[in-house]
């Protein structure tokens, strides 16, 4: 676990000093919200509120792709990726450290995006803030676990900016299916669908286990 904490601390401190990933993701989601707002000329209507959960997760996913593309940028710039591979202990803990750091950074952007969405689309998010945060966290676990794995796979390629979304987006279908259904249920009735939550938990567990076990082979490449 020392490896997890060391990598997590290193990534968070580095981001605090540079602020390149969080700022880029935040500006991107703000632009997405503005585009969605002007694409619905009627304004905040019942119809726009129906599609708001899907639009919210679209913003989350594309902002996450932008951030995950930079997850291993520091190691590439300083030729330190091999140093991660030489860390003592199971390399799966290197994956966990990176995944948790991505989870924290993406979570900050998601919280700000949800607040902006609530204002633009006049969504009553405050009464369901805690359960909504839980749904977003469950969706982000699957997103960050498989996203960190694919980010490491694409890091050493020439076309990593293109390769990552090509690999990542198809695997996120079950995560988005559960997350959007659960979010829509919270906004409509104040309760998330049990089937959607169950789907998120199962998919998160599968993605975490598979990513943890295969990360060693990814670092060897």
In Å, how far are 64, 117, 148 from 154, measured between CA atoms?
Answer: 15, 32, 10
44-59 pLDDT tens trace? 566 667 788 888 999 9
Contact 211, 203 (CB under 8 A): no
Could you write out the DSSP letters of every residue in 73-104?
A: HHHHHTT-HHHHHTSSS-THHHHHHHHHHHHH
Residue 189 has pLDDT above 60, yes or no: yes
Residue 2 has pLDDT above 80, yes or no: no
pTM of the model: 0.89
Q: According to the model, what pLDDT value does residue 78 have?
A: 63
* Total tally of structural domains belonging to the chain: 1
- Reading the block at residue 1, the tokens are 């676990």
Strand residue runs (E) in the chain:
none
16-29 pLDDT tens trace? 888 888 999 999 99
Contact 152, 215 (CB under 8 A): yes
104-163 pLDDT tens trace? 999 999 999 999 888 888 888 888 889 999 999 999 999 999 999 998 888 777 777 788
Q: According to the model, what pLDDT value does residue 43 have?
A: 56
- Of 39 and 197, more confident: 197
pLDDT band at 40 (very low <50, low <70, confident <90, very high): confident
For residue 68, what is the DSSP state? H
63-112 pLDDT tens trace? 999 989 887 777 776 666 666 666 666 777 888 889 999 999 999 999 99
Q: Residue holding tokens 């009464």?
A: 127
Contact 50, 123 (CB under 8 A): no
Which range of residues forms the domain containing residue 207? Answer: 2-220
């Amino acid at each position: 676990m020392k490896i997890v904490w060391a990598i997590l601390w290193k990534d968070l401190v580095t981001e605090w000093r540079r602020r390149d990933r969080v700022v880029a993701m935040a500006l991107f989601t703000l632009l997405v919200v503005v585009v969605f707002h002007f694409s619905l000329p009627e304004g905040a209507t019942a119809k726009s509120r129906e599609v708001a959960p899907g639009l919210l997760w679209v913003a989350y996913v594309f902002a996450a792709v932008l951030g995950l593309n930079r997850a291993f940028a520091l190691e590439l710039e300083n030729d330190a990726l091999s140093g991660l591979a030489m860390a003592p202990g199971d390399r799966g803990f290197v994956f966990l450290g990176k995944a948790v750091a991505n989870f924290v950074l993406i979570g900050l952007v998601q919280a700000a995006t949800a607040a902006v969405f609530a204002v633009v689309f006049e969504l009553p998010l405050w009464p369901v803030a805690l359960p909504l945060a839980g749904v977003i966290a469950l969706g982000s676990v699957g997103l960050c676990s498989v996203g960190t794995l694919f980010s490491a796979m694409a890091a050493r390629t020439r076309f990593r900016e293109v390769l990552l979304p090509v690999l990542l987006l198809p695997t996120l279908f079950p995560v988005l299916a559960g997350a959007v259904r659960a979010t829509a249920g919270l906004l409509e009735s104040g309760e998330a669908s049990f089937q959607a939550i169950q789907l998120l938990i199962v998919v998160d567990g599968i993605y975490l286990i598979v990513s943890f076990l295969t990360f060693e082979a990814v670092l060897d490449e």
